[in-house]
Amino acid sequence: MIDKILRDYDRTHTLNARDIHYILEHAEEASEPLFEKAREVSDRHFHKKIFVRGLIEFSNYCRNNCFYCGIRHDNAEVERYRLSTESMEAAVKSGVAMGFKTFVLQGGEDPDFSDDLLADWVRRIKRIDDEAAVTLSVGERPKSVYAMWKEAGADRFLLRHETFDEAHYGKLHPRAMDRTRRIRCLEDLKDLGYQVGSGFMVGSPYQTTENLVEDFLFLKRLQPAMVGIGPYVSHHATPFKDFPNGSVELTAVCIAILRLLFPKANIPSTTAMQTLAKDGRNRGILAGANVFMPNLSPSAVRRRYALYDHKAAFALEAAENLEELKDQIASLGYEIVMNRGDYTDKE
């Protein structure tokens, strides 16, 4: 059956809901031929090159209370921090010195970090390197604010939809959070001309195979430039602390499905993969991922940006170990390239 699905894929260049459902339900037997096909598609578009992005986690203050997330508002154990403009600039400058051409500013929805200040930061990064791409990952805002940041020079925006199913969304989030609003944000961002990334967690509490199929179908409609997914990883101080972690294997299968659905999309092998398996990053790449996001946050705050327990942030996750990462990726048969790695839908 998997052989037939992959043969049909060669003809149609897509997967339908039934194919995706079958693959997810037979992940173990499907994985090898699926990974092989995903690598073939990935290699055709990216020629065994891996793009890197310097990730700067600039604030762990958050107004929200997502049940899965370690930096949720009500977690009183978190030592909260917010980078100063100077330390953000120092992180960017060290990234520029290492050759990074994309910087990702990620944070909680920090109510005391003004929208104007973030616009100022975008302009500052562009002044440090006017060729660098700036990606924002700061949650939900009105369209006018997204427009202001775009005007300031932001190129890309990451906002995972987390789960498309309304009932499932309601089980992962408090009532104040609204799936419709999140999806409207994604539409606004697309409309404004951002390269937009979305995505979901694999193995989040209460998730069903049908939920995952809906996630893929939603992404097919959205046509994102980037898709970030990772296994759900438990955090000890959240309402979901007793739920098991998601599976690295199933996440790799989902990465491969994404690669088949979105041949040219930028798909990272995420930190959550590496957190749950010592070869997690490699397994993402061998399933069709083409991006890796080393951590450029000042090392003193890295541990405090803990969305989940035991986050990988110091070995090859760390931007300062870029040279070792390059060697390791080379031993897999891939090459890290230091360019912007913009999304393009051209061949």
Instruction: Catalog residues that contact ligand SAH under the rule CB under 6 A.
Output: 68-69, 106, 108-109, 137-139, 159-160, 162, 201, 230, 232-233, 235, 272, 307-308
Q: Is the CB of 63 or the CB of 278 nearer to ligand SAH?
A: 63
Give the C-alpha separation, 109 to 127, whole Å.
25
CA geometry: angle 24, 45, 329, nearest 5 deg:
80
Q: Is the CB of 1 or the CB of 117 nearer to ligand SAH?
A: 117
Residue nearest to ligand SAH (CB): 139
Question: Are the beta carbons of 19 and 234 closer than 8 angstroms?
Answer: no
State the minimum distance, in angstroms, from the CB of residue 76 to ligand SAH.
17
- Amino acid letter, 10: D
Q: Is the CB of 81 or the CB of 232 nearer to ligand SAH?
A: 232
Q: Is the CB of 75 or the CB of 106 nearer to ligand SAH?
A: 106
Strand boundaries in 26-132, DSSP class E: 49-52, 54-59, 102-107
Beta bridge partner(s), residue 135: 104, 156
State the minimum distance, in angstroms, from the CB of residue 262 to ligand SAH.
18
Cα-based distances in Å from 176 to 42, 107, 169: 39, 19, 12
Backbone angles phi, psi at 42, to 5 degrees: -65, -45
State the minimum distance, in angstroms, from the CB of residue 308 to ligand SAH.
4
Residue 173 tokens, joined: 């989030």
Question: Are the beta carbons of 78 and 304 closer than 8 angstroms?
Answer: yes
Give the C-alpha separation, 163 to 179, whole Å.
8
Q: Is the CB of 133 or the CB of 158 nearer to ligand SAH?
A: 158
Q: 3-class SS at 141?
A: coil
Q: Is the CB of 61 or the CB of 343 nearer to ligand SAH?
A: 61
Residue 9 tokens, joined: 């894929």
Separate counts of helices (H) and strands (E) for the chain: 14, 11
DSSP conformation letters of 61-94: --S---TT-TT-TT-TT----B--HHHHHHHHHH
State the minimum distance, in angstroms, from the CB of residue 120 to ligand SAH.
19
Q: Is the CB of 251 or the CB of 282 nearer to ligand SAH?
A: 251
Q: How many CB atoms lie within 10 A of CB 316?
A: 18
State the minimum distance, in angstroms, from the CB of residue 267 to ligand SAH.
15
Q: At what angle do helices 27-46 and 2-12 cross, to 10 degrees?
A: 30
Q: Is the CB of 46 or the CB of 103 nearer to ligand SAH?
A: 103
State the minimum distance, in angstroms, from the CB of residue 135 to ligand SAH.
11
State the minimum distance, in angstroms, from the CB of residue 107 to ligand SAH.
6
CA atoms within 13 A on the CB side of 212: 29
Q: Is the CB of 48 or the CB of 73 nearer to ligand SAH?
A: 73
State the minimum distance, in angstroms, from the CB of residue 64 to ligand SAH.
7
State the minimum distance, in angstroms, from the CB of residue 305 to ligand SAH.
9
